[in-house]
Amino acid sequence: MTRLSVNINKIATLRNARGGNIPNVLDAAINCERFGAEGITVHPRPDERHIRYQDVYDIKPIITTEFNIEGYPSQEFIKLVLKVKPDQVTLVPDPPDALTSNAGWDTIKNKEFLKEIIAKFHSENIRTSIFIETDSELIKNAAETGTDRVELYTEPYAENYSSNKELAIEPFIKAAEIANTVGLGINAGHDLNLDNLKYFNQNIPGLLEVSIGHALISDALYLGLENTVQLYLRELK
């Protein structure tokens, strides 16, 4: 079964809006695990507008499932990852002021840059994943960076799912087939939700993990966190 990693950034966004420690990010991580999530994802940004660097340090020792840290590989981010030693680091090409991740890596132009960074993480036995779009050449070049996995950027799929799901999924199937051929594991994330997740999971060969935050936490406001995590897990069975 494809693993569900819950991105808890939005819990931190709500906390930061008021100050203090409500809702408690650490409790959220523990509860997501307790309710069945098989991983916790965080994406600290330089301005710490949601997850703070200290949150990352605090979360690592209290969770027992997979810990995935996403982010742009600045020197500060690299230092954080090497200290925390998560199970997985997902590299995204976001500039510091990006509202959310909205593009994948150009693995041709950035190949040497990525190779150097990935080698650092591998030296500490940290699995790496590269956030990427469905372009076949970019995926083939991703394999040459030494990364273990790619995370397919799924916003285009989500945007087109309601109008033509077969057409929306087609480039992702092709991308997954190429990734499988060149020996890359496949993750996915961005705008996957209870409407489109099952179809995506059923049609992507070798899908190992989905990282879901905004939609899942939003659903939890109406449905409760435990029920919501269970509903997402059900879509992945």
Q: Which residues are catalytic?
A: 43, 70, 190
Q: What are the contacts of 110-115 at 24+ separation with CB within 8 A?
A: 111/141, 111/144, 111/145, 114/145, 114/147, 115/144, 115/145, 115/146
Tokens linked to 21:
């420690």
Torsion angle of C-alpha atoms 66, 33, 21, 70, degrees rounded to 10: 30
Which residues make beta-bridge pairs with 128?
Answer: 89
| Residue type (1 letter), 60 | K
User: Is the separation of the CB atoms in 41 and 8 below 8 Å?
Assistant: yes
User: Is the separation of the CB atoms in 11 and 28 below 8 Å?
Assistant: yes
Cα 20 to Cα 77: distance, rounded to the nearest angstrom:
25
- List of residues 6+ apart from 62 with CB closer than 8 A: 26, 29, 30
Q: Which residue has the tokens 């906390």?
A: 15
